Structure 1
Amino acid sequence: MSAPPKVPASFWEHEPVRLALAERHLGRVVRAYRCHPYHGRVALPQSVVAGWLGITQAQLSRVENGPPLVHLDRLAHWAQLLGIPAFCLWFRLPGQHCWTDASRMRGETSGADGEDQVVDQGALTAVAANVEQAPSQGGGVTDRRRFNVLAALAGLAAGGHTYLLPGPSAEAPGSIGMEQVRLASSLVDDLRRVDAAVGADLLCDVAMQAHTRLSAWAARASYSREVGDALQSALADLSIEAAWLAIDADRRSEARPHLHEAITRARIADDPQAEVRALTHLSLLIRESQPGESLHCAEAALRISAGWATPRLTTLLRLRRAHAYAVLADASGFSREMTKARHELDRGPHEDDQSFVHFVNAQELNGIEGLSYLALDRPGRAVQSLRAITANPSPGHRRNQVYYTVRLSEATYQQGDVNEAARIALDVLPAVRQINSKRVSQHLSQVRRKLAAPRQATTTTRQFVDTYDQAVNL
């Protein structure tokens, strides 16, 4: 074939193609394109596709197997040449003025079962107003990311609670029943799902404004005592989720009031599980700035959860204490808590595990151990622990994987190996931009600042600094 064929819309829903697009690696997209069953039993030869792209077969091989492309001109040219739909891309094509031009804005989104669902366009507009007004938190926020937030939260309209969304929407009912509380509680699940897909930077404002709206509604509506307790728990959960998003978006000063509110509401509702969740997040929030208080928060959570805590929850609380001890330069306290955390983790998962502890696994334990060794000024041991994560990744917890890889680059730098630190940072750069977490991108920017110092100049460090600067400016 002398030119790429015209392919049907379903072509881009093929699993390998979707995964490659999600990874934001155009070389892998091209490989998935070549191997698509649409072309027949035999994959398209690299030489043929390379001819379409104006490069050699050897160059295409390097593109498919090497680091992601970052040059916008080439990305856009090849995407247009292959006919990749604009809504699949993580960058803007020439002539695409804004994200509202995307064809998907007609109000269709795919449900969990793969079936197309038509949702309320008014709900999309309401969330759109909020997302457009949200300040950019850095890291090259893209139009594609904005649309993902809209599409993922569009389910709230289908669920019938658009009055919880920011922006103009339906007026909230004058009275609250258990059905409305269940709808409000489901908002937390929606936010967690969207956070896993697009990160916290823009979603943080959506969560905080939804919390404000739900709190105002609860203050003026009428409800029974039974409904009131359930509503307080729902508000506590939403406060905790908003706080987590603020932490991940590196807006830490906004997180603490939400966690204090969550603790108060949990006590009003006599909901110890919500109180423990809030204390666990508070311990995380202040572990660097107030390690002593962080230690007390984790201890309080252990005390409240005694008798019903699952091994995973206990592991998490022990890890919170271990890191706080490390920041306090108490090596023996750190070692003691890590031993207890390992013992609890070895007991395995439990059917009563709360959803917020599902990330607690061997990789998380190694990660906290690595960060603790950094706090104890033992970068060599930190590198060992953090390398164990990259050697055995956990696909279900991509953000943590990326975060700890960035911290591995920091530890390697502190160990004195600037070239290895630059190589690790260069490899993880595309993933950092994809997960949209300012907490992570801030750490990578610190690595860039250190490696850009004249005394650290090598071919490898200059390559990372140049690539980082180009990626941020896309």
Structure 2
Amino acid sequence: MTHANCPRCGGRLARDNASGRCTPCQAAERDRLSAPPTVPASFWEHEPVRQALAERHLGRVIRAYRCHPYHGRVALPQSVVAGWLGITQAQLSRVENGPPLVQLDRLAHWAQLLRMPEDSLWFRLPGQDRWANASPMDGEAIGAHGDDQVIERGDPAAVAVNVEQAPSQGGGATNRRRFNVLAAIAGLAAGGHTYLLPGPSAEVPGSIGMEQVRLASSLVDDLRRVDAAVGADLLCDVAMQAHTRLSAWAARASYSREVGEALQSALADLSIEAAWLAIDADRRSEARPYLHEAITRARIADDPQVEVRALTHLSLLIRESQPGESLHCAEAALRISAGWATPRLTTLLHLRRAHAYAVLGDASGFGREMTKARRELDRGSHEDDQGFVHFVNAQELKGIEGLSYLALDRPERAVQSLRAITANPSPGHRRNQVYYTVRLSEAVYQQGDVNEAARIALDVLPAVRQINSKRVSQHLAQVRGSLAASRQATTTTRQFVDAYDRVVRV
């Protein structure tokens, strides 16, 4: 009879050892309740772990991690690993068995906590300059972002090129943007969405099952990730084309009643994403039909969560042009979500109402809604937070407060709120950070400090060009127009206007 070996150190186990670990290794692991152990490189070559990594599903990676032979004959309990990750056992169970995580900050934090090797990940870690052997030809992400961003590895959609690097990448903004759009499409196609994307029509199945619905739902997550990498300007048409094709497929395919309800929700979600991209690309007139469609589909599917998402985006879309209707949309969303809304969602809806009141010139209504928003935000995040409220944090609250003060013609208060964002940036929400910095330049100009407005605008100019959001670039163009027309021209204002004009001509 041969003795078994300890999976951790390779030493032989005694015949009566029932733990699967030798005594020294058991002693070395007594502190595992407080922190993950340091595992050898070969740990990550175990087939279940490799398979989970290939599926790009961190929950399955964690399950394979817990069940690894390295830990002995008995898998690590979910309660132990959940303690490392700072969540409950029930939450970890949902992470392991539910859909893939899409929150990039959580992906990065947990990967670092478990000491997962960087070259096995499908996303970029903070502080990582670039991926080894990166090449746009094989779908690796080129390091062109600041260290505060988490970029998807193995996803060509994550390719983004600095303004300064553009000439070496083929020259000119037009070529650079075309490259990024093609990269975005390639990244979505790699996820299995070929027949939903622009290009020659691919053959589609005659019937739709839950697997196809799940694939369509994952497309929305992919679009969000690509949007974060290359911007809405480059992705809006891609999303609209995907929506058109999916809608046409759903209209002629056969499916069960259960699949039909899920499909309606998936189509509604895709409509909402297309609408958001249209808003950020400053194609607002194209957004509203998508949101109306989403509301209709959500009601057909009896999916209140999707309906609330659509109403939340509709409130944003029309808050400047129809603030009264914007108030009603946010109020309807609050009413529908009563009983199940998380604090973050409720915070967002009160912020929507606060800004609408400000546009209406109602300072009292604005103040009431901001107080409610702060109270809800103080309750913290929740395990049931939907992905679209991930950006709702203290910085976003300050941002909406600043924009509202601008609407109330109180630029001095707007400057205070918007400066709080630049002083305490939110690393995971770069586009919002850039947007509110541009609006800070506007507020400072309205306050009368032309030189400081130009300095802020000059500093943020490269970032505006990188994020490809026409909504943001339009505001910067307004700053440029105001500074160019100002009678208080200074060296800094001339520097900004000249730099802006050079960049726009590229």
Maintained 8 Å contact 1:451/1:461: yes
* Partner amino acid, structure 2, of 1:187: L
Match in the other structure for 1:159: 191
Work out the CA distance in 1 between the residues paired with 2:397 and 2:208: 42
Matched, 1:143 2:175: yes
Tell me, yes or no, if the aligned pair for 1:141 and 1:436 is still in contact at 8 Å. Answer: no
Do structure 1's residue 22 and structure 2's residue 144 form an aligned pair? yes
Task: Find the aligned partners of 2:315 and 2:345 in 1 and give their Cα distance.
Answer: 13
1:286 and 2:318 aligned: yes
Q: Write out the 4+ residue segments of structure 1 that deviate beyond 6 Å after TM superposition.
A: none
Does the CA contact (< 8 Å) of 2:160 and 2:180 recur in 1? no
Counterpart AA for 1:189: D
Say if 2:246 is the partner of 1:172. no
Write the deviation string for residues 206-228 of structure 1: whole angstroms up to 9, x where unpaired. Answer: 00011000000000111111000
Q: Does 1:181 align with 2:293?
A: no
> How far apart in 1 are the matches of 2:343 and 2:461?
34
| Mapped pair 1:422 → 2:454 | yes
Q: Does 1:460 align with 2:492?
A: yes
Q: How does 1:50-89 map to 2 (within 5 A)?
A: none
Q: Over residues 410-459 of structure 1, what are the superposed CA-to-partner deviations in whole Å (9 max), with x where a residue is unaligned?
A: 00000000000000000000000000000000000000000001513111
Deviations along 1:278-319, one digit per CA (max 9) or x if unpaired, are: 000000000000000000000000000000000000000000
1:370 has 2:388 as partner = no
Question: Which residue does 2:432 correspond to in 1?
Answer: 400
Structure 1: distance between partners of 2:366 and 2:310 = 23
Structure 1's 141 and 312: CA in aligned 2 closer, same or farther, altered over 3 A?
A: farther
Counterparts of 1:239 and 1:87 in 2: how far apart (Å)? 25
Aligned residue runs from structure 1 range 237-316, under 5 A: 237-316=269-348
The 2-side partners of 1:323 and 1:409 are apart by 19
Residue ranges of structure 2 left out of the alignment (5+ in a row)? 1-118, 132-141, 148-158
Which residue of structure 1 lines up, in the alignment, with residue 418 of structure 2?
386
- Change in 2 beyond 3 A, CA 1:174/1:185: same
After superposition, where does 1:317-336 map in structure 2 within 5 Å? 317-336=349-368
What pairs up with 1:336-355 in 2 under 5 angstroms?
336-355=368-387
Structure 1 468/89 Cα, relative in aligned 2: closer, same or farther at 3 Å? closer
Aligned length: 361
Partner of 2:264: 232
Alpha-carbon distance in 2 for matches of 1:443, 1:359: 21
Normalised by the length of structure 1, the TM-score is 0.73
Inter-partner Cα distance in structure 1 for 2:457 and 2:188: 38
TM-score by length of 2: 0.68
1:214 to 2:246 alignment: yes
Instruction: Please tell me whether the aligned partners of residues 402 and 428 of structure 1 are also in contact (alpha carbons under 8 angstroms).
Output: yes
- 1:406 and 1:424 in contact (8 A); partners too: yes
CA pair 264-320 structure 1, distance change in 2 beyond 3 A: same
Check conservation: 2:160, 2:229, Cα contact below 8 A: no
Instruction: Summarize the alignment of residues 91-170 of structure 1 with structure 2, pairs less than 5 Å apart.
Output: 91-93=165-167, 141-170=173-202
1:238 Cα deviation (Å)? 0.2
Question: Which of the two has higher C-alpha Rg?
Answer: 2
CA distance in structure 1 between the partners assigned to 2:273 and 2:492 by the alignment: 40
Q: Do 2:160 and 2:230's aligned partners in 1 also have CA atoms closer than 8 Å?
A: no
Whether the aligned pair in 2 keeps the contact of 1:232 and 1:269 (CA below 8 Å) is yes
Match in the other structure for 1:70: none
Query: Relative contact order (alpha carbons < 8 A, sep ≥ 6): 1 or 2 greater?
Result: 1
Contact 1:370 1:381 in 2 (8 A): yes
In structure 2, what is the Cα distance between the partners aligned to 1:442 and 1:454? 18
Q: Is the 8 A contact 2:395 2:421 kept in 1?
A: yes
In 2 relative to 1, CA 158–465 (structure 1 residues): closer, same or farther, beyond 3 Å? Answer: closer
User: Could you say if the C-alpha distance between residues 88 and 429 of structure 1 is closer, same or farther in structure 2, counting changes exceeding 3 Å?
Assistant: closer
CA RMSD, 1 decimal: 2.2
| Pick aligned residue for 2:502 from 457, 461, 470 | 470
In 2, are the aligned partners of 1:204 and 1:249 still within 8 Å (CA)? Answer: yes
Change (3 A) 1:88 1:335: closer
Identity among equivalent positions (%) equals 87
Whole-angstrom distance in 2 between the partners of 1:175 and 1:279: 31
Name the amino acid aligned to 1:269. Answer: A
